[in-house]
A and B are shown apart, each in its own frame.
Chain A
Amino acid sequence: DAKTTQPNSMESNEEEPVHLPCNHSTISGTDYIHWYRQLPSQGPEYVIHGLTSNVNNRMASLAIAEDRKSSTLILHRATLRDAAVYYCILSGRGSTLGRLYFGRGTQLTVWP
């Protein structure tokens, strides 16, 4: 299964944009890029996913590099509630159908 690489931790100030990077150099053509986040003492929460084009939703934006070997989750204005562990995950068809493998993710700290 293709792997992802994320920084262990990042920090931001409240109301500033946050760019969370993810490298996935062995991504296959059918792998989707997923982002989840986990707030303290809670189960993970779906944030966004995409295949090739950039994606926007009410929570965040996902910018995917043209060669798809990296992606960036963008939180446009960080709030204290966005402090969480953010996971970048690949999932596609075939052997990985239906499965999500979580790494250690990036711990985001938001300062007031």
Chain B
Amino acid sequence: NAGVTQTPKFQVLKTGQSMTLQCAQDMNHEYMSWYRQDPGMGLRLIHYSVGAGITDQGEVPNGYNVSRSTTEDFPLRLLSAAPSQTSVYFCASSYSKKDSPNYGYTFGSGTRLTVV
């Protein structure tokens, strides 16, 4: 199993550009989430999904869009990049059932985004 795959690993954008961060999982997980982590801080939830076709906002959704057309993929779109969006972005996925022996979010290795 590949687990949670995030691409790209590094990206530099100019202010105002748009881009999509890709996230794919091959574990048939229902739950998927996007987080951002700024230096010295904990993770903040951007958007999450509890299944294909269902998404909702987290703590810091402004400036980001998501969609979940398949169970496997959960792309994060930056609409018009700003320097404040410079951060490390993590995608994660999990089974929904907390009594499952396989429960627990699996995180990707992250995308390091710099907006100049």
Which A residues are closer than 8 A to B by beta carbons? 32, 34, 36, 42-46, 49, 51, 85, 87, 97-105
Contact B45 A46 (CB under 8 A): no
B: number of interface residues (CB 8 Å): 27
The answer to whether B42 touches A102, judged by C-beta atoms less than 8 angstroms apart, is yes
**Contacts A46-B104, A49-B103, A99-B48; A87 near B42 (Cβ below 8 A):** yes
- Interface stretch of the complex, out of B10-18, B73-81, B106-114: B106-114
The 3 closest A-B pairs by CB, nearest first: A46-B104, A43-B107, A102-B43
Chain B residues with CB under 8 Å of chain A are 30-31, 33, 35, 41-45, 48-50, 58-59, 90, 92, 94, 96, 98, 103-110
B residues near A100, Cβ cutoff 8 Å? 33, 45, 92, 105
Q: Is the CB of B31 within 8 A of A98?
A: yes
**B59 contacts which chain A residues (CB < 8 A)?**
101
Complexed CA–CA distance, A43 and B106 (Å): 9
